[in-house]
Amino acid sequence: MEVPVKYPGKLTLRVVVTCVMAATGGLIFGYDHGVSGGVTSMDSFLKQFFPSLYEKQSNMTPSSNQYCKFNSQILTLFTSSLYLSALVAGLAASSITRMMGRRATMIFGGMFFVAGALLNGLALSIWMLIAGRLLLGFGIGCANQSVPIYVSEMAPYKYRGALNMCFQLSITIGIFVANLFNYYFSKILNGHGWRLSLGLGAVPAVIFVVGSFCLPDSPNSLVARGCYEEAKIELIKIRGTTAVEAEFRDILAASEAAQSVNHPWRTLRERKYRPQLVFAICIPFFQQFTGLNVITFYAPILFRSIGFGSTASLMSAVIIGSFKPISTLVSILVVDKFGRRTLFLEGGAQMLICQIIMTIAIAVEFGTSGNPEALPKWYAIVVVGVICVYVSGYAWSWGPLGWLVPSEIFSLEIRSAAQSITVAVNMISTFFIAQFFTSMLCHMKFGLFIFFGCFVVIMTIFIYKLLPETKGIPLEEMNMVWQKHPFWGKFLESDSKIQTDNIDPIC
């Protein structure tokens, strides 16, 4: 069995700056995650755009069914519509990334987001809100398709995990900042603070666009577009050494294989790429069905549904949001030491325990009727504390690894198409959660946490059985991890045998 080549090179200032700058694309994704749930819990926003829902929740008494307090498909469409356009953009971005490079796709994504944020901040009617959300989705789809690939290609293999996770760190920072803005803006501007919350999403998008213009293209992208000399010069700069011949040869070989592929979508369906295709679909699906985005999107709504006041619910979201960047920093420090599998498995166990505790806590206080007595202070502390532990488990495992692992396991010839599949599945799953959460909470009640807990069990077993460890493996040598895996190795041997049997003998 071949041993992966260990390329020389060090962690240069250039590669750190470029990877961190590219990772700011996560700010726009995170900011939108955090801002939408807080805005939809603001009375002023509901009164202007969803007056019937505002009247309904204003007239509810403590004896009303709190589970159904915000059950409105039109309200959730405000949040979820973004992910439909992100799905389309993620698929279309594959061709842009392949032909024009990762950097161009990032620039387009940032510009779409700026336009969407400004339209939302100036919205006077529902159609303006939805149109703005669709533009935001185009921006997020482009950024999520290109940024993880770009960072994985620029980073030295020994530090790829930590640098790639800067994308998730930016997402968590964006969520936290959005939660802070929601809390403070809800009290100002005569009830129009939601305009600032939505409109200020243009700020991280402008930072991302300006930064993307300053970024160099990755060596892999330059080679794919025939710029060989520029690619080698850039590789020398980011590795901090002239001894890049081995890595450059492997990039050239991978590019030649990629150039021979005229239809990457069709190639992706070939048997030899079946392991990567399985993970391109399953990891983003399971990432969303941990239930974390229920907390991210609708934390203020969820807290108001279980008895917190409007201001208290926004502050609780701020507290929970602060745990995400801290936990992601922990992941950045340990991912290249302990590996991907260890973090996946530990995070899954931690989230499952928290979901069991949450189920019991809500079932005891609310039962199936959703009519609680006066909520004691200890209950609020327990709920917020358990959710913080739950969020921490996600933020150092499935959150960052859900973007890292897919971006590093694909061969160059299928990398853009496969990453688009990852983004598409992520967006479809996110749309489902965002659109139907309030309805699911109304009908499933505390059983909603059991629903997500079952998926956490399934996905943890899936990782334990089927994911090979990818830490410390150069991108262009990644095929070896599948050959060594006890399950996928047999799968690929079978494919090799089929190909050999189909070769006509030479007489």
Could you read off the pLDDT of 240-290 as tens digits, one per residue? Answer: 888 888 889 888 887 887 677 667 777 778 888 888 889 989 999 999 898
Q: What is the pLDDT of residue 8?
A: 74
For residues 216 and 201, give the distance between their C-alpha atoms in angstroms, rounded to a whole number.
Answer: 25
Task: Find tokens 């999520």 and name the residue.
Answer: 144
Question: Quick check: 64 pLDDT over 60?
Answer: no
Q: What is the pLDDT of residue 411?
A: 77
Amino acid at 453: G
For residues 507 and 504, give the distance between their C-alpha atoms in angstroms, rounded to a whole number.
Answer: 9
Q: Provide the 8-state DSSP code for 351.
A: H
Question: Quick check: 500 pLDDT over 50?
Answer: no
The answer to whether residues 366 and 372 touch, using CB atoms and an 8 Å cutoff, is yes
Of the listed ranges 76-90, 94-108, 362-376, 466-480, the least confidently predicted one is 362-376
Question: Quick check: 355 pLDDT over 80?
Answer: yes
For residues 114 and 383, give the distance between their C-alpha atoms in angstroms, rounded to a whole number.
Answer: 36
For residues 411 and 409, give the distance between their C-alpha atoms in angstroms, rounded to a whole number.
Answer: 7
Per residue in 308-329, pLDDT (tens digit) is 555 666 677 777 788 889 999 9
Question: Quick check: 398 pLDDT over 50?
Answer: yes
Of the listed ranges 37-51, 308-322, 420-434, 476-490, the least confidently predicted one is 308-322
Of the listed ranges 58-67, 195-204, 358-367, the least confidently predicted one is 58-67
Task: Find tokens 């199936």 and name the residue.
Answer: 368
Phi, psi of 243 (to 5 degrees): -85, 65
Q: What is the pLDDT of residue 507?
A: 29
Pair of tokens at residue 400: 């960052």
Q: What is the pLDDT of residue 3?
A: 46
Q: What is the DSSP string of 110-174?
A: HHHHHHHHHHHHT--SHHHHHHHHHHHHHHHHHHHHHHHHHHHHHS-GGGHHHHHHHHHHHHHHH
Q: What is the pLDDT of residue 497?
A: 52
Q: What is the pLDDT of residue 200?
A: 92
For residues 282 and 466, give the distance between their C-alpha atoms in angstroms, rounded to a whole number.
Answer: 11
Q: What is the pLDDT of residue 1?
A: 41
Of the listed ranges 65-69, 86-90, 363-367, the least confidently predicted one is 65-69
Q: Which residue has the higher pLDDT, 76 or 108?
A: 108
**Phi-psi group of 440: left, alpha or beta (phi > 0 → left; psi -120 to 50 → alpha; rest → beta):** alpha
Total residues belonging to the chain: 507
Residue 493, helix vs strand vs coil? helix
Residue 503 binned pLDDT confidence (cut-offs 50, 70, 90): very low
Q: What is the DSSP string of 184-209?
A: HHTTSGGGTHHHHHHHTTHHHHHHHH
Question: Quick check: 464 pLDDT over 90?
Answer: yes
Q: What is the DSSP string of 62-128?
A: TTS-GGGTT--HHHHHHHHHHHHHHHHHHHHHHHHHHHH-HHHHHHHHHHHHHHHHHHHHT--SHHH
| Cβ-Cβ contacts under 8 Å for 95 (sequence gap 6 or more) | 416
CA angle (329 as vertex; 198, 304 as ends), nearest 5: 45
Q: What is the pLDDT of residue 70?
A: 64
Residue 462 binned pLDDT confidence (cut-offs 50, 70, 90): very high
Section 164-180 average pLDDT: 87
Considering the chain, what is the average pLDDT of its residues?
Answer: 81
Q: What is the pLDDT of residue 241?
A: 87
Residue 311, helix vs strand vs coil? helix
Residue 423 binned pLDDT confidence (cut-offs 50, 70, 90): confident
Amino acid at 104: A
Residue 43 binned pLDDT confidence (cut-offs 50, 70, 90): confident
* Among 285, 272, 219, 289, CA closest to 410: 272
Task: Find tokens 């260990």 and name the residue.
Answer: 6
Phi, psi of 99 (to 5 degrees): -90, -40
Q: What is the pLDDT of residue 126?
A: 85
| Residue 60: other Cβ atoms inside 10 A | 13
* Among 376, 420, 365, 375, CA closest to 143: 420
Distance of CA 435 to the CA centre of its chain: 17
Section 2-16 average pLDDT: 73
Section 42-48 average pLDDT: 82
Per residue in 132-160, pLDDT (tens digit) is 989 999 999 888 888 988 998 888 888 88
* Among 197, 187, 183, CA closest to 121: 197
For residues 388 and 382, give the distance between their C-alpha atoms in angstroms, rounded to a whole number.
Answer: 10
Q: What is the pLDDT of residue 504?
A: 46
Helical packing angle, 25-39 and 292-305, nearest 10°: 20
Residue 59 binned pLDDT confidence (cut-offs 50, 70, 90): low
| Cβ-Cβ contacts under 8 Å for 50 (sequence gap 6 or more) | 72, 74, 75
Q: What is the pLDDT of residue 345?
A: 95
For residues 63 and 147, give the distance between their C-alpha atoms in angstroms, rounded to a whole number.
Answer: 48
Q: Provide the 8-state DSSP code for 503.
A: S
Q: What is the pLDDT of residue 312?
A: 64
For residues 249 and 257, give the distance between their C-alpha atoms in angstroms, rounded to a whole number.
Answer: 12
Q: Which residue has the higher pLDDT, 192 or 279?
A: 279
Of the listed ranges 84-98, 200-214, 365-379, the least confidently predicted one is 365-379
For residues 152 and 403, give the distance between their C-alpha atoms in angstroms, rounded to a whole number.
Answer: 10
